[in-house]
Amino acid sequence: MEVARTIAEIRASIAQARAAGRRIGLVPTMGALHVGHTSLIDAATARCDFVVVSIFVNPTQFCPGEDLEKYPRPFERDVALCEQHGVAVVFAPTPEEMYPRDNVTWVTVEKLTEPLCGRSRPGHFRGVTTVCTKLFNIVLPDVAFFGQKDAQQALVIRRMVADLNQPLETVVCPTVREPDGLAVSSRNRYLSEQERRAAPVIFRSLQKCREMIEAGERNADEIRGAMIGVLREVSALKVEYVSLADAESLEESVQLQGQILAAVAAHLGPARLIDNILIDVPDQ
């Protein structure tokens, strides 16, 4: 397995792979790899025969005061994990390689980036869409793989690819969870033992939502209220949002119908945790 540090190096490997007729898969990550990431890598190796994993803690998607400096960077371990999972090349550029000068060119997706995480993280999605476009232009993947764990990000990227006719397919893989339901995340390591024990309350609130819909409830306020009730079981949890939105437009629903994205963001100690589930609301 190769580790490419520069754009020139990764471009040379990609050119060879292309010339050999390989189908190229890209898994963009910020490193600190876990089973969520390796599920994406495994999906990529199943569908492509040359898999590139990018490891880049992208500064432009962090807001002032966020965890850019302390974001975990266990690089050797990440490289070993990629090798074990059949990755062809790890692309791990420095910030200077990706942003050699003051960046003045941005890719912005409107509307879909405004609600949910967009409200508390101004500029975050602009950083994500810009870095993904740069990675797509550098790696020229046939397929790029994203996780449902970051539902709004996956939707925003799919929309960008469609709107800009970016020549690749996107695949969104299911959220990998711990046995107690907590969505696996690089940021879970910020939690104390006690916070870690309490964190599955977020998934329980999403399950409550699903149960209520299955029992016939369609009023979003009722369901949101019940979800907040579940979340209040953990007094240390500071809820940022509880959203029941149309899964395509991300507009908040009043009466639930069609496909719904139920999503929660909350702070627990030093960690900001997000989770979501997609629910197909049955016709009544």
Q: Which stretch binds ligand AMP (CB under 6 A): 30-38, 90-98, 260-268, 273-281?
A: 30-38
Cα–Cα distance measured from residue 2 to residue 4, given in angstroms and rounded to the nearest whole number:
6
Residue 173 binds ligand AMP (CB under 6 A): yes
37 binds ligand AMP (CB under 6 A): yes
Question: Buried b / exposed e across 132-169, counting CB within 10 Å, b at 16+?
Answer: bbbbbebbbbbbbbbbbbbbbbbbbbbbbbeeeebeee
Residue 38 as a binder of ligand AMP (CB under 6 A): the answer is: no
Indicate which residue of 34, 37, 124, 267 is catalytic: 37
Non-local CB neighbours of 223 within 8 Å, separated by 6+ positions: 208, 209, 212, 213, 217, 244, 256
Give me 215's structure tokens: 């029992």
- 182 lines the binding site for ligand AMP (CB under 6 A): no
**Least CB distance to ligand AMP at residue 217 (A):** 28
Binding to ligand AMP by residue 124, rule CB under 6 A? no
**What are the DSSP E strand ranges found in 70-158?**
89-91, 143-147
The pair of three-digit structure tokens given for residue 62, joined into one six-digit string: 């962090």
Q: Which is nearer to ligand AMP, 67 or 97 (CB)?
A: 67
85 tagged catalytic = no
The only residue of 14, 26, 29, 131 in contact with ligand AMP, by rule CB under 6 A: 29
Percent of the chain as helix, strand, coil, to the nearest 5:
40, 25, 35
Answer yes or no whether residue 149 interacts with ligand AMP by CB under 6 A: yes
Binding site for ligand AMP (CB under 6 A): 29-30, 36-37, 39-40, 146-147, 149-150, 173, 175-176, 183-186
